[in-house]
Chain A
Amino acid sequence: MSLSVTLDKISLKKGYNLLISNLNLEVGSGDAISLTGQNGVGKTTLLRAIAGFFSPQTGKISAFDDHGLIDPIRFRTEFIHYLGHHDALSPTRTTEQELRFQAQYLNANENNYQFAVQYLNLSPLLDLETRLLSAGQKRRVSLARLLIAPRRLWLLDEPMSPLDAHQRDLAARLMQDHLSDGGIIIAAVHDPLPFETRIVHLTRPDLKAQEAALVD
């Protein structure tokens, strides 16, 4: 099963502010994209738009598999993992409770859960409330979701930033396995990922485009 995602001339606004204008991008199975660009240029906004959290101002984001166009709601609810700045962990619940919840909510099976815990070496953290975890540990717990519920498109926002060198290697291996299984990764990064990726550098739209967008 191949998957491809097409961004067709999309423009994204945050409030009145035009962040991305006329962006075209095509990614297919096995592709890894690094989104680069200065702070505030719209990397996170672009990832959230691809995740389907809101629709772009103009243009279209569409996804295709072997059977043709994928319904946008099905695409969002069955194909995408989004790992944002927040690790989506409730501070008063234990790591195990949170991971079990995610597994059940995303309808994953027990084997995947056990595999994720083992692969990311999470067993020492399972009984701890998530507020006690360090930033790097929290990120490792978030990464577990990628293994618990297998999905094709991973949208990662600064996935490596809080991790130490050893965990970065682990995460990189995880991502490379995903790519060789035919998955897609789109990651917003400042430091380049430790494997080959296609770099998409985002820049601010010129003043003329920003002014034109104000009128809309």
Chain B
Amino acid sequence: MSTKINVAPHAALSLLKRDLSLSLTRGGGPLLAVGFYLTLMAMIPLSLGSDSTTLSRVAPGLTWLSLALASLLSLERLFERDYEDGLFDILRLGPLPMEVIALLKCLAQWLGTGLMLAVLTPFVMIILGAPVDAAFISLIGAILGSLSFAIIGGIGASLSLGTRKGGVLIALLVLPFYVPPVIFGAGLMQAYLTGAPITQALSLLCAYALFALALGPIAMGAALKSALS
């Protein structure tokens, strides 16, 4: 057993590094999601009109909605490429259990894409008319939210592995579970802007991210094992 514990950090680190560099380069990388996010946000004033009171009222909610949709974009290729290339055959013969492999792949995807969307969120919200002092709290919220989106999305991606054109299927599977962070996240902003206490929404957002971190790997591990057998 002692050898296993010594070996695993190397393996985990190398897998994280590999997947991070892949998520930054392949298929347009984070540019695709970032471009989608910004375009969607640019369309909001065009569709709702440029009245700043309306915009600043709906800004937090719409930002969260767009964040959820942009997080969906890169899910399809989260496991699919490595599955087709046969890389999982190597990964399974290494020291990491499938649950850890899946979690690391989600985290790499999150660091490459989700985190970038989270960093953009305060800017987008402010451009739409939210007050500047809400930037920090919206960044914290978006980081927690995008982490939940990445891991819940990973569950959907692992379940649809091996089905051709699984993208739409993933969206259908995953979107219902994106609802809680959207509610808590938009609620957090609403509470902050109206001066109500923010601890409740913030702790629910944290709780959901922790829930995803705890249960996601187990679900992904089981789904991947069955897809790969």
Chain A interface residues toward B at CB < 8 A: 51-54, 76-77, 80-82, 84-93, 97, 101-102, 104-107, 145
B35 at the interface (CB under 8 A from A): no
B14, B17, B86, B229: which contacts A88 (Cβ < 8 A)?
B86
Size class of B's contact patch? Answer: 20 to 34
Q: Which residues of B contact A106 (CB under 8 A)?
A: 11, 90, 93-94
Q: Which residues of A contact B18 (CB under 8 A)?
A: 93, 97, 101
B164 at the interface (CB under 8 A from A): no
B26 touching A104 by the CB < 8 A rule? Answer: no
Q: Which residues of A contact B10 (CB under 8 A)?
A: 104-105, 107
Proximity string of chain B (1-45) to chain A, C-beta cutoff 8 Å, 1 when within and 0 when not: 000100100110111011001100110000000000000000000
Q: How far is the CA of A85 from the CA of B86 in the complex (A)?
A: 8
A54, A82, A101, A105: which contacts B89 (Cβ < 8 A)?
A82
Q: How far is the CA of A4 from the CA of B17 in the complex (A)?
A: 36
Proximity string of chain B (73-104) to chain A, C-beta cutoff 8 Å, 1 when within and 0 when not: 00000000110111101111111000000000
| Nearest CB on B from A154, distance (A) | 11
A92 touching B26 by the CB < 8 A rule? Answer: yes
| Nearest CB on B from A11, distance (A) | 15
Known: A53-B228, A104-B14, A105-B11. A84 touches B89 (CB 8 A): yes
Q: B90: nearest residue on chain A (CB-CB)?
A: A88
| Nearest CB on A from B149, distance (A) | 25
A90 touching B91 by the CB < 8 A rule? Answer: no
Q: Which residues of A contact B4 (CB under 8 A)?
A: 77
Chain B interface residues toward A at CB < 8 A: 4, 7, 10-11, 13-15, 17-18, 21-22, 25-26, 81-82, 84-87, 89-95, 228-229
Known: A53-B229, A90-B81, A92-B26. A105 touches B86 (CB 8 A): no
B93 touching A80 by the CB < 8 A rule? Answer: yes
B11, B85, B93, B228: which contacts A76 (Cβ < 8 A)?
B93
| Nearest CB on B from A77, distance (A) | 6
Instruction: Add 12 more A-B contacts to A53-B89, A77-B4 (CB < 8 A).
Output: A77-B95, A80-B93, A82-B89, A87-B85, A88-B90, A89-B87, A90-B26, A90-B81, A90-B85, A91-B85, A93-B22, A97-B21
Q: How far is the CA of A211 from the CA of B158 in the complex (A)?
A: 33
Q: Which residues of B contact A76 (CB under 8 A)?
A: 92-93
Q: Which residues of A contact B21 (CB under 8 A)?
A: 93, 97
Q: B81: nearest residue on chain A (CB-CB)?
A: A90
B22 touching A90 by the CB < 8 A rule? Answer: yes
Q: A14: nearest residue on chain B (CB-CB)?
A: B229
Most buried by A among B15, B89, B95: B89
B11 touching A88 by the CB < 8 A rule? Answer: no
